[in-house]
A = this chain, B = another copy of it.
Amino acid sequence: MTAPLRTGLSSLMSPYEQTRQLSERLASVYSEADQTIQSMPDASPVKWHLAHTSWFFETFLLKPNLENYRVFHPSYEYLFNSYYNSVGDQYYRPNRGLISRPGKEEVLAYRQRVDLGMAELLATLEFDDRKDLQTLVQLGLAHEQQHQELLVTDIQHALSFNPMHPVITKAPDLFPEATELQWISIGEDLYEIGSDTAGFCFDNETPKHKVYVHSFSAANRLTTNREYIAFIESGGYDDPLLWLSEGWAWKSEQQIRAPLYWKSQDGEWWHYSLSGYHPVDLNAPVTHVSYFEATAFAQWAGYRLLTEFEWEVLARLHPNIHEQYDPGILRPQPLKNANDDIQLFNQLWQWTGSQYLPYPGFKIPQGAVGEYNGKFMSNQFVLRGGSCVTPPMHIRATYRNFFPATARWQYSGIRIAHDG
């Protein structure tokens, strides 16, 4: 969000409305029942995402700042608090799929009430001196955009359990034959990593600091399904020497033999997505792989993953962003104008070999929003780049996404690299 900001908070009204509307548009294609279900503790119901993002504005903006604001429903403060202990107790996460009430319509009414409050707050106050509120609104929007992505990946996970393979969106175009992989080499040097933009970024992208990066080469494109199938067929899932020890144990215990949503049928690989059940597109980038699978593939291929610092250096040197986000498709699709096609952004999140840790000088902010990022800084790996379902505002070189090494339900893929 690097656009210059007008002085009043009213300049935030338009982005606010656009973001809120997109959430509802994304949700609108799912039935009341679809919006209710939850398929694992890590995922949340569609309806819950709509309510929780409203709870965020109600809790951090309206309650403390809008005079006479009356909370929509006292139980919502409990039901739709995700993990903010400083705000209060939270409904037990694995049970979010039991919240049949409020229904879809009541959640939309909740959103409307919050939107009215926010319109009043943004319109009536003059507060050049309230940078803090401006930042909180921006955080609320960025937060809602993150949930727009989760809404999509969570409902795809839930619907994947339905043997009738529900079709929600249209299918993407087939990818053209993948080009031969080329290496982009970057020289050893001291680089600056992280953000110091005047615009919005998450606290975990700061402070900007120096990192010494040794020379490396990165693949110019993502690993394709064809390449990944070669790994499968050469016994990649059966060779413990390719795997991290923890990954081997996880794979064996979970009996994993292919990316999430894949199924072998009569000698061919099929997969489920929100556009239905189709044969795997061999030229498309492989997705829905865990960090453990990504590293096993890289080891098998004789390479490794990038670190998050290498990735960021690469991205700064190749700043072209092809914005392709299309809420009607929700699958990786070929880039339209791919002159500089290194697929950094907007196709798949790329697992890096870096665990998610604070940057030097990082401080957890005071107050409830201090719980936003810092407390998750253990045992997760950083992903970079943004995917086909990532809202465009989240596409930037410094953005740090993070998930446990076993997570597969995000649009996560592989970029290989090597030293020197």
Contact = CB atoms under 8 A, between A and B. Distances in A.
Contact of A163 (B78, B85, B364): B78
A360 to B, nearest CB: 4
A101 B162 contact: yes
Contact of A162 (B98, B361, B364, B370): B98
Interface string A205-225: 000011110100000000000
Contact of A79 (B97, B163, B358, B371): B163
Contact of A357 (B73, B164, B353, B405): B353
A32 interface: yes
What is the copy number of this chain in the assembly? Answer: 4
Interface in A155-174: 158-159, 161-164, 166
Given A163-B91, A190-B212, A370-B241, A31 B101 contact: yes
Contacts of A31: 32, 100-101, 103
A80 to B, nearest CB: 11
A158 B34 contact: no
A36 interface: yes
A100 B159 contact: yes
Contacts of A245: 83, 375-376
A141 B272 CA distance: 38
A100 B36 contact: yes
A76 to B, nearest CB: 9
Interface centre among A32, A211, A214, A419 (most CB of B within 10 A): A32
Given A31-B103, A86-B241, A247-B378, A98 B357 contact: no
B376 A379 contact: no
Given A162-B100, A360-B419, A361-B214, A243 B375 contact: yes
A354 B164 CA distance: 43
Interface in A354-412: 354-355, 357-358, 360-361, 364, 370-371, 375-379, 381, 405
A246 interface: yes
Contacts of A357: 353-355
23 contacts: A32-B32, A33-B35, A33-B103, A36-B36, A36-B37, A37-B37, A39-B98, A75-B163, A75-B164, A83-B245, A85-B241, A98-B158, A98-B161, A99-B162, A100-B162, A211-B212, A241-B371, A244-B378, A246-B376, A248-B375, A292-B378, A361-B419, A379-B405
